[in-house]
Structure 1
């Protein structure tokens, strides 16, 4: 069931790799409980410390779900579980150029998402986008976190129209960074800058919503492209 352990790597790393390979090869299914610590100690002929360290790392990676008093289970496969690992990478990254790279990535992908949204959106999506716009307009200028969350939600709704779980896995972690990035980028501008920035964003969102609502895919593509070009310009202007 498990690969034999060698000598070149730490015991905990070897156990981790062997368990991971067993899961990858289908010997354990999502939701299935793996052998207990004592059983794994006997299987691998290693100490409990090595087993615990391996399980701890696999839990941190999202491969195992450790339940207190119950044991360790293979994590269920879902977009949310998979994207949490990417979320952790983005949140902990020390790359000072990450914001710029993130916006540039959005510029490549989101106009195409808006274009697709215009083709496949339902009436329910239009209702959600409209309510989001109304909440954005009512949002207090000083409540930058709420405004950033609403901005994030607008783009998440557009993404949801695609019903593409792979795309959601890749893009959602980037969207989840938006509130954090926006709060830092606009931390110091004066009220005039904030008012102007919000009004421009609302106008852009209105243009995107109008195009998606009218199922005008080319207009939706152009509106999103212009919106993200402005986002990039704002970042270059207001970054610390």
Structure 2
């Protein structure tokens, strides 16, 4: 197992050595930068101003988000965008409620530097507070033009939507794009044993429950994506 540690670190958000700045707030894997820049330029020709809400996210950052959700300090939403009273849930039900929209630390695709949560800044006022909710990207939402553009052109630049539709795991996320050439390699390399090893050596909220249910969670929420 020791020989796997460098690879595991990259896959689970513990190693940021391959990440580079795309602006003052966000990082991406260095192999993704050229495609990201091409994507932004192409969108600009159609009047879309690509802005990033989230890109690379390390293990510790994801662990803080996870803990806040587990402890009811950040809202947990159901599929109808209603807030869930997380204090009424325990065990697998609690974990599944959180993982509908929030990834398990060590298992977020954002750890890879291949993922971006995006919106169109040209479609909203400068003081608009992005919510990252499906309605914003639907037919009556401000980012519907972006949704249509991605449907038609994302693949031309190597990107796809891993959560384009709900498949019984992670909710649909029309704002989440992934750089397929690299993400598919990481998806193949990522394994249940690698994640288990990481979570056994790095404390997170609900750790014992997570480890107990990890095979189920791995199949339902981590490998269950919409293929490019």
Q: What is the TM-score normalised by the length of structure 1?
A: 0.25
Higher relative contact order (CA 8 A, sep 6+): 2
Higher strand share: 2
TM-score by length of 2: 0.26
